Amino acid sequence: MKEVSVRTNSRIGMIDITSKIRNAVEELEIQNGVCTIYCPHTTAAITINENADPDVVSDILMKLNKLVPYQEGYSHMEGNADAHIKSTLVGCSEQVIVENGRLQLGTWQGIFFFEFDGPRNRRVWVSVR
Ligand code: ZN
């Protein structure tokens, strides 16, 4: 397994970590298998989506914020219930096929780290099996 560090700069954000994951896969030196990209945090998430047009990222963040507002009479004392809910909606991991040492992503696909309660120093775990 490899651990990748992600520094987030705002409360909510969607950070393209594709190149970091590619580097981790190279370092693991496993030619064929399935790469799991796992986020060990309860207020962050992992997704795969378009990394060509940055408007896709801003549209996704805008819609998630409308679906799950920051403050809405939640019970959770820590004050970040929206972040926990967004994390569960998006999910904490993704899997990508690795063939001949390369991540098999579609032309327009990138791997993104979602921050929902930043800024923070975050970690992502990468494994190929
Ligand atoms: Zn909390």
- Which residue in 113, 114, 94 sits closest to 104, CA to CA? 94
pTM for the full model? 0.96
Q: Give per-residue pLDDT as tens, 68-97.
A: 999 999 999 999 999 999 999 999 999 999
- Compute, in angstroms, the gap from residue 57 CA to the centroid of ligand 1: 24
Residue appearing with tokens 């004392």: 77
Q: How far is the CA of 42 from the centre of ligand 1 (A)?
A: 8
Using an 8 Å Cβ cutoff, are 93 and 36 in contact?
yes
Ligand 1 centre from 75 Cα, in Å? 10
Question: Which pLDDT belongs to residue 96?
Answer: 98
3-state secondary structure of 40: coil
* Cβ-count burial 44-53 (b if 16+ within 10 Å, e if not): bbbbbebbee
Q: Would you state the pLDDT for residue 88? A: 98
pLDDT of 90 reads 98
How many angstroms does the Cα of residue 3 sit away from the middle of ligand 1? Answer: 23
**14 vs 6: CA distance, rounded Å:** 11
Ligand 1: distance of its center to the CA of 84 in Å? 6
d(CA 93, CA 111): 10
Among 37, 42, 44, 43, residue whose Cα is nearest residue 18: 37
Question: What's the pLDDT score for residue 39?
Answer: 98
State which residues of the chain have pLDDT below 50: none
Distance 81 CA to ligand 1 centre (A): 6
Q: Ligand 1 centroid vs 56 CA: distance in angstroms?
A: 27
Q: Distance between CA 33 and CA 10 in Å, rounded? A: 34
pLDDT score recorded for residue 1: 96
* 67 Cβ contact list (under 8 Å, min separation 6): 89
Quick one: pLDDT at residue 60?
Answer: 98
What pLDDT is stored for residue 74 in this prediction? 98
